[in-house]
Chains A and B, each alone.
Chain A
Amino acid sequence: NAGVTQTPKFQVLKTGQSMTLQCAQDMNHNSMYWYRQDPGMGLRLIYYSASEGTTDKGEVPNGYNVSRLNKREFSLRLESAAPSQTSVYFCASSPIILQGPNEQYFGPGTRLTVT
């Protein structure tokens, strides 16, 4: 049981380049999330997917797109990277989103630098 996995672990992009961050979970969870973690800002929700086939914006969605490929996978895409998107990105999943409280399980993170 790997839990939540993310690839890549590290990435350096130039301004304007695009890339996709991959996330997968093997816990049969319905809900998945993307956060960014910045010093002094804590974790902020970018997008979430309550269930397979649905996605919604979180607190800071601008500059990002997501795809819930299937129940296991939830990818985050940067179409045109900007230095302001330099951050550590965490993917998380939880069993069900409608009925709280429910624990979110986090991936190891992707450290992205945009120059």
Chain B
Amino acid sequence: AQRVTQPEKLLSVFKGAPVELKCNYSYSGSPELFWYVQYSRQRLQLLLRHISRESIKGFTADLNKGETSFHLKKPFAQEEDSAMYYCALIYSLISGYSTLTFGKGTMLLVSP
């Protein structure tokens, strides 16, 4: 069965420090992975997807199939990065359609 694991509930860093939010997945098919972010009192929004290989707000994430990981990284954290971050995996439902399964989330707190 598909599973997304985010081992850290909370990650606290100082402004300017590097950040790495960990995500590991388990899926028998070809994985398609995303990072979603939820700022305080706001809705979830897509941060980035692995197939785009893009950098959004200074964040990057590389899919490592050997380690089944999709860690989110940023070299210099900013206070405005403080938010809840969710790693998500697309998987196929019994009906044949697909949807997302989410990790439990990691709260990132960036202190001045």
Interfacial residues of chain A within 2-58, with CB under 8 A of chain B in the complex: 4, 31, 33, 35, 40-45, 48, 50, 56, 58
Q: Which residues from B are CB-within-8-Å of A50?
A: 95, 97
Known: A45-B99, A50-B95. A106 touches B43 (CB 8 A): yes
Residue among B9, B34, B51, B105 with max Cβ neighbours from chain A (10 Å):
B105
Bound Cα distance from A98 to B43, whole angstroms: 24
Query: A4 → chain B, closest Cβ, in Å?
Result: 8
Across the interface, A42 reaches (CB within 8 A) one of B42, B95, B98, B104, namely B104
Q: Which residues from A are CB-within-8-Å of B104?
A: 40-42
Known: A33-B99, A56-B93. A40 touches B45 (CB 8 A): no
B74 within 8 Å of A (CB atoms): no
Number of B residues, CB within 8 Å of A: 25
Additional A-B contacts beyond A4-B43, A42-B105 (19; CB < 8 A): A41-B104, A42-B6, A42-B103, A43-B44, A45-B99, A48-B99, A50-B95, A50-B97, A56-B93, A59-B101, A92-B44, A97-B97, A97-B99, A100-B90, A101-B32, A103-B34, A103-B49, A108-B42, A108-B43
Residues of B within 8 A of A (CB): 6, 9, 32, 34, 42-46, 49, 51, 86, 90, 93, 95-105
- Name 20 interchain pairs, CB-CB below 8 A, sorted by A: A40-B9, A41-B104, A42-B6, A42-B104, A43-B86, A43-B102, A44-B102, A45-B100, A56-B95, A56-B97, A59-B101, A97-B98, A98-B97, A98-B98, A100-B32, A101-B34, A101-B51, A101-B90, A106-B43, A107-B43
